[in-house]
Amino acid sequence: MSTETTASVSTHILDTSVGRPAEGVIVHLSVRAGTEAPWQGHGTGKTDSDGRCKDLPAPPEGTTHVRLDFEVEHYFLSQQHSTAKQADAQQDAPANRDSGAFFPEVAITFAVVPGEHYHVPLLLNPFGYSVYRGS
């Protein structure tokens, strides 16, 4: 839902260690107007069974930067049992940590311009992640 005065943001998460969407991850959206402005919390959502976070609000007019904070530790703790089985099958795999993930949270910051839609998928596994601007 982009307009001439604001951008729109969407995201989804794929757990690449199991090749499935990451369900139940809390995502916080923060915004700021300019590089020197403080971050303002603007909304929170949770990924659905398809790994999509569909309820993030559009950034307000004047937003120049958006930050998505993904709380992935709880997700990995819930997946720890199956992850442990996979690690046992791979002799060179690092031992599981008590937290279930090397990165307990992921913060992605990107610049936005009015009228554009920004889909920012997160490809996630217990020991790494990558992001990109999707469509």
pLDDT higher than 90, residue 88: no
Tell me, yes or no, whether 104 lies in a domain: yes
**What single-letter amino acid sits at 119?**
H
Note the pLDDT tens digit of each residue in 15-39.
999 999 999 999 999 999 999 999 9
We report the CATH number of the domain holding residue 101 as 2.60.40.180
Q: Is 52 helix (H, G, I), strand (E, B) or coil?
A: strand
pLDDT higher than 60, residue 45: yes
Range of the domain at 65: 8-131
Instruction: Count how many domains the chain has.
Output: 1
Tell me, yes or no, whether 2 lies in a domain: no
pLDDT of residue 98: 57
Token pair recorded at residue 1: 């839902």
pLDDT higher than 60, residue 3: no
Average predicted confidence (pLDDT) for the chain? 87
Tell me, yes or no, whether 75 lies in a domain: yes
